[in-house]
Amino acid sequence: MAKNQLTFNKKERAKKQQQKKQEKLEKKALNKSNNNKGKSLEEMFAYVDEFGNISNTPPERRYEFKEEDLQRPADPIEEFRHGKVSYYNETGHYGFIRDNLTRETVYFNDRLVGVTLQLDQKVKFKYIRTKQGNQISEIEL
């Protein structure tokens, strides 16, 4: 009886293996029929509309740029601001000054400014807005 059980288990394993092979072949055939090889560039394009939906046709409306969209960041702050050095890295020669009025922090590099500063030192400064953030343009002790 144990011998019959053993051959039954072998048959079941063989059936499962054959079924997995069949599923693999079917999946391979499906992938082969759905591949993008041989398509033109235009057929492979995908477009995203203003709501984030993806489609294969280009959107009807296009965004028109305004002159304000192309302008550079604001010019330097004209008046001097008062602040205090809130962080300073001596080895890197850089730090941050906290503006007393707006509580914003402004980056400085003492090699670019030409003055060596220390932590908690009170200063007057002007700054500019850059891509990386606010940066000191002029400084007075």
Q: What is the CATH number of the domain that holds 96?
A: 2.40.50.140
Please report whether residue 49 resides in a domain: no
Select the highest-mean-pLDDT range: 50-54, 74-78, 121-125.
Answer: 121-125
H-run or E-run covering 86: strand 81-89
Say whether 23 sits in a helix, a strand or coil: helix
Q: In this structure, is residue 6 part of a structural domain?
A: yes
Residue type (1 letter), 3: K
**How many domains is the chain built from?**
2
pLDDT mean over 16-22: 95
**Is 88 a domain residue?**
yes
For residue 114, being part of any structural domain is answered with yes
- Pair 85, 70: CB distance under 8 Å: no
Instruction: State the residue range of the domain holding 102.
Output: 81-140
Mean pLDDT score of the chain, rounded to an integer? 81
Does residue 74 surpass a pLDDT of 70? no
Could you read off the pLDDT of 126-136 as tens digits, one per residue? 888 877 777 88
pTM over 0.85: no
Q: Residue 20: is its pLDDT beyond 90? A: yes
Angle at 35 between CA 34 and CA 41, to 5 degrees: 120
Q: Is residue 121 part of a domain?
A: yes
